[in-house]
């Protein structure tokens, strides 16, 4: 049902574009369809379920293994606020592996980490790409990568001269990375499509993390 509805929407959008003198090709329709499916399936609308008997919450731990989108951000922020309210002095451990995600949802999580009193330790496991690397670097406690983790810094912003929003996004990304790491000067300005894959040792040297996890050090 969802696929049929979105396909109908894509066809309608194509017809509208065509009537305005611009015909979408199949790639355009496919890209539109994929984007809408991603938003509908991953964003979700249900509220986070918080329970005092949740094993991870009992250990003051939050686990993220999904794309950073509206749904993920809502869940993470709710858990951060809940644990901070319980004890604003005790550390919170955020364990993350993700392929990346939406820019504004990512910085909503970052702002929440920085706003609460409880220090947030961020643990990178597996692949921590793009949006995940931003959240990792924003940790206010320890920033740790597992020895098998792979990090990736990827901004891929549009031309900052295109509009005010693009300019603000570029400013936000560059300010963040200059405050939280020591990235190479030739990675700036962050308007290229390059993806920089980083080992835990390289992440340590670049100041993205504070330490590499040792065996038995997991929270």
The answer to pTM > 0.85 is no
Q: Token digits for 137? A: 């670097």
Q: For 39-69, how does the pLDDT look when each residue is reduced to its tens digit (9 = 90+)? A: 555 555 566 767 767 889 999 999 999 999 9
- Tally of CA atoms within 13 A in the half-sphere of 217 that contains its CB: 16
User: What does the pLDDT read at residue 20?
Assistant: 46
User: What does the pLDDT read at residue 51?
Assistant: 73
Considering only CA atoms, which of 103, 173, 98, 104 is closest in space to residue 136?
98
Q: Which of 154, 166, 180, 199 is catalytic?
A: 154
The predicted model gives 90-117 an average pLDDT of 97
Domains for the chain: give ranges and CATH numbers. Answer: 2-43 (no CATH), 55-212 (3.90.226.10)
Considering only CA atoms, which of 28, 2, 27 is closest in space to residue 16?
28
Considering only CA atoms, which of 90, 12, 98, 9 is closest in space to residue 57?
90
Query: What's the pLDDT band for 30 if we cut at 50, 70, 90?
Result: low
**Do residues 149 and 128 make contact, with C-beta atoms less than 8 angstroms apart?**
yes
130 is catalytic: yes
User: What does the pLDDT read at residue 54?
Assistant: 84
Q: For 139-174, how does the pLDDT look when each residue is reduced to its tens digit (9 = 90+)? A: 999 999 999 999 999 877 666 667 888 889 889 999
At residue 216, does pLDDT exceed 50? yes
180 is catalytic: no
Using a pLDDT cut of 90, give the percent of the chain over it: 61
At residue 33, does pLDDT exceed 70? no
The full DSSP string for 64-103 is E-S-BSHHHHHHHHHHHHHHHHH-TTS-EEEEEEES-B-H
Q: Which of 14, 112, 130, 138 is catalytic?
A: 130
């Amino acid at each position: 049902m969802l696929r049929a509805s979105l396909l109908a929407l894509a066809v309608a959008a194509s017809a509208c574009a065509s009537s305005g003198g611009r015909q979408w090709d199949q790639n355009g329709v496919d890209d539109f369809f994929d984007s809408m499916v991603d938003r509908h399936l991953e964003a979700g609308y249900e509220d986070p379920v918080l329970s005092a008997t949740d094993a991870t919450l009992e250990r003051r731990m939050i686990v993220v293994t999904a794309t950073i989108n509206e749904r993920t951000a809502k869940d993470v922020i709710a858990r951060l606020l809940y644990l901070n309210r319980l004890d604003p002095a005790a550390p919170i451990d955020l364990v993350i592996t993700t392929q990346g995600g939406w820019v504004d949802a990512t910085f909503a999580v970052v702002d929440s980490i920085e706003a609460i009193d409880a220090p947030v330790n961020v643990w990178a496991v597996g692949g921590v790409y793009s949006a995940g690397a931003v959240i990792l670097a924003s940790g206010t406690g320890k920033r740790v990568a597992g020895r098998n983790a792979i990090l990736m810094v990827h901004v891929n912003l549009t031309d900052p001269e295109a509009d005010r929003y693009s300019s603000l996004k570029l400013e936000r990304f560059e300010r963040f990375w200059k405050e939280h790491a020591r990235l190479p000067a030739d990675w700036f300005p962050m308007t290229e499509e390059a993806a920089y894959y980083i080992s835990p040792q390289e992440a340590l040297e670049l100041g993205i993390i504070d330490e590499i996890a040792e065996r038995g050090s997991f929270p």
